[in-house]
Amino acid sequence: MQNPTVESMIAKLDADRAANQAKFGELDPNALVYANGPWTVTNIISHLTIWEEEFLKGLQAHQAGQSYLTEMPDLEGDDAGLNAFNGRTVGERKHLSYEEALDQWTTVRQQIKDTLASFTPEQIAAPMVAPWGGEAASPVAQTGGCIWHEGHHLKETLAAVGNDSAQVG
């Protein structure tokens, strides 16, 4: 029997993704979201995928009794390393079509859910640090970061492409 807390988080991940994917799906995949990349809607999907892949690595490390932190360049400035990481990793996926980016996004979300579902009660109870750092919390609580991140970029995307009237969950 699956842990009720994990079941609830997986249901939240599914509901959130279904709603957000529908909203992203209404947009032109080539619409410009961030001019300083430049990043399109497709690039935003790739960015979300990259960070979910990083989170999956963290979950897998936690399951093995280890920890994982994303390697970012040590640069001057508040978010310089993060921005460099994001720019480089999204740049590596610029060749992807919207459908390919969407497929990767879907695949990694399923892998996260499968990994959470395979955790023992002890692994669920043990705190972990997310790959992006911060305070230690349960893997289920850390998974909420995926929901926040997706909602954050969806809201910015909708505003950038002139569709900011849509409600974001």
Return left, alpha or beta for 142; rule: phi > 0 is left, psi -120 to 50 is alpha, else beta. alpha
Task: Give yes or no for a contact between 27 and 161, defined as CB atoms under 8 angstroms apart.
Answer: yes
DSSP assignment of 49-101 equals HHHHHHHHHHHHHHHTT----------SSSSHHHHHHHHHHHHTTTT--HHHH
Mean pLDDT of 140-163: 92
- Condensed to tens digits (0 to 9), the pLDDT of residues 27-65 reads 999 999 998 878 999 999 999 999 999 999 999 999 999
**Which is more confident, 42 or 164?**
42
The amino acid at 139: P
Domain extent listing, the chain: 4-160
Mean pLDDT of 62-73: 90
pTM of this structure: 0.91
Mean pLDDT of 76-88: 80
Query: What residues are paired with 40 via a beta bridge?
Result: 32
Return mean pLDDT, the chain.
Answer: 90
Highest mean pLDDT among 23-37, 68-82, 101-115, 135-149: 101-115
Q: Is CATH 1.10.287.130 the right assignment for the domain spanning 4-160?
A: no
